[in-house]
Chains A and B, each alone.
Chain A
């Protein structure tokens, strides 16, 4: 087959995303079309760097967890020598998934169907009842669990790419790298640990809605009015959300006017709100003075000023780091998405400080909490409205008139602007339009 693959998203229309001065729109079908969804699984998830695990989830030799790259089931494992492997969870014999656990520790994976077994680095250990059925000298080296083409990590975040060629992980993360640093430098040692399990939720909407929303500073005043009212009534004793110390709705909304959004090259995005007025000093006289002291010992004052604001970071296509959690968006179907939230502890911070962070997380996040369920409700009503297909476009042009250059090709806007969402859709368009 030498026929050229189509280069456009859709044969009859190459403008699913309109991006021109003063005008940014996306076609509703990118959230509904099964064909576009399948193309996303191939052209985006089948190529770019996709987050699969944090180091601390597979800390010891033999540890593993299962994950998905798009719809591909994979095993992320640490071999006996401590090396990390990402391999497809598919027996080379007749395709059965060889691992059925969420996580665990093992020396090998044995296929339930016909007993082929693989070491934790994915290599084929044995074919059951080998003699007579297969040549004695069969070359097993080509029959291991198929590895992802590339595996790399940054500050404990393990990514895999199914494409042998393409930008390195550091090139992909590019302008987002300093913000990963800021987030994890909230630990005095610069290390985080995922060790309290995960909230797993599912919603009836397209996966891109959660990707867009994680850096959306426009929705909060409306979607989370229930939470702000609750916070005004009960204060922060039950767990502080973000840097909000104000208990008055008007002052909460004032804080939400401060800060910025950034849309990065590569499709990443940032929503940033200011640090508490006194920065780290605000913690010095409170119950977490020990954390403040540890941070002041670890970092220079200018660095603390960079670390202390709230950073909601989105890494294209499906990883969020925000509000004390790693957030993984898992597309399941055009209108069905899983979101897994992994709270993380800060290494080197006191148990009391980590517990206070956990209290704040619990109050706002998870399927029965007071915050995130109101977000995913929006994604279901988005998906409901999309059935009215005569309205072709979703408007993502907020703030086009006031965004300004930030860095080398990045753009910054007001915290309520759709700057990060535009960056996401620019990268989405670039990858979906690539020559196959």
Chain B
């Protein structure tokens, strides 16, 4: 039985090695951390979902989630961050993603599931007066992460990005940056 670095040959299904999956995740993380959010948007399939559930036993969209972004809401989110004065993101969050524990599993239908552990460090500082309440505090968010990737138009597209935060079901402050 092949485990993490499986190499399916049946049905000419495109697969991903762990090495490829890591490189893909590292790039996604860098696009977010470098604030290249239009490039990040382009990683998603049109029907892709960006989801940070509170209760992941329930289907997306049925119970309250931290983030439940279909294509339209993802574009709205990026517009809000880049084109509007959103007070919760003024100053903007700086983020630094750390990606580890990467595993790949076939998912059928030309998709792969990529599991990872991610730590997202976040701080709002820069030109802001970091001494004010809510600013200048470095926070860290640990997440079990699942990407469901689909080979489409010659590249891997996100069908699902699920970020299961460790602290998802306690009272949580400002999560208005990209996880």
Contact = CB atoms under 8 A, between A and B. Distances in A.
Interface of A: 196-205, 223, 225-227, 229-230, 233-234, 237-238, 335, 338, 340-341, 343, 355, 358, 362-363, 366-370, 373-374, 376-378, 380-381, 383-384
User: For the side of the interface on B, what is the size category?
Assistant: 35 or more
A226 B87 contact: yes
A362 B171 contact: no
Contacts of B2: none
Given A234-B75, A370-B76, A370-B77, A196 B63 contact: yes
A21 B139 CA distance: 47
B172 interface: yes
A234 B76 contact: yes
Nearest to B177: A368
Given A335-B133, A370-B80, 9 more contacts: A203-B173, A230-B84, A233-B76, A233-B83, A367-B66, A367-B175, A373-B86, A373-B175, A376-B173
A314 B173 CA distance: 23
Given A362-B68, A368-B176, A377-B87, A197 B134 contact: no
A366 B80 CA distance: 15
A374 B65 CA distance: 18
B101 interface: no
Contacts of B55: 197
B54, B55, B64, B76 — most chain A CB neighbours (10 Å): B64
24 contacts: A196-B63, A199-B54, A199-B64, A200-B169, A200-B171, A200-B172, A201-B172, A202-B171, A203-B134, A204-B134, A223-B87, A226-B85, A229-B83, A230-B84, A233-B83, A237-B72, A362-B64, A363-B73, A367-B172, A367-B174, A368-B176, A369-B176, A380-B133, A380-B134
B171 A338 contact: yes
Nearest to A343: B64
Contact of A202 (B68, B85, B172): B172
B132 interface: yes
A196 B62 contact: yes
Contacts of B84: 225-226, 229-230
B72, B169, B171 — most chain A CB neighbours (10 Å): B171
Contacts of B76: 230, 233-234, 238, 363, 370
B66 A374 contact: no
B7 interface: no
A122 B175 CA distance: 39
Given A366-B66, A367-B173, A238 B72 contact: yes
A64 to B, nearest CB: 17
B92 interface: no
Contacts of B174: 367, 373, 376-377
A205 B134 CA distance: 10
B145 interface: no
A234 B72 CA distance: 8
Given A373-B174, A373-B176, A380 B132 contact: yes
Contacts of B171: 200-202, 338, 340
Interface in B40-80: 52, 54-55, 61-68, 72-73, 75-77, 79-80
A383 B80 CA distance: 26
B127 interface: no
Contact of B132 (A238, A340, A384): A384
Contacts of B62: 196
A374 B88 contact: yes
6 nearest A-B pairs in the assembled complex, by CB-CB distance: A373-B88, A226-B84, A368-B175, A380-B134, A226-B86, A200-B171
Contact of B64 (A238, A366, A376, A380): A366
B64 A383 contact: no
Contacts of A202: 171-173
Contacts of B54: 197, 199
A197 B64 contact: yes
B71 to A, nearest CB: 10
Contacts of B80: 226-227, 230, 370
Contact of B86 (A205, A355, A362, A374): A374
B61, B73, B133, B173 — most chain A CB neighbours (10 Å): B133
A165 B54 CA distance: 41
A225 B148 CA distance: 35
B133 A197 contact: no
A258 to B, nearest CB: 25
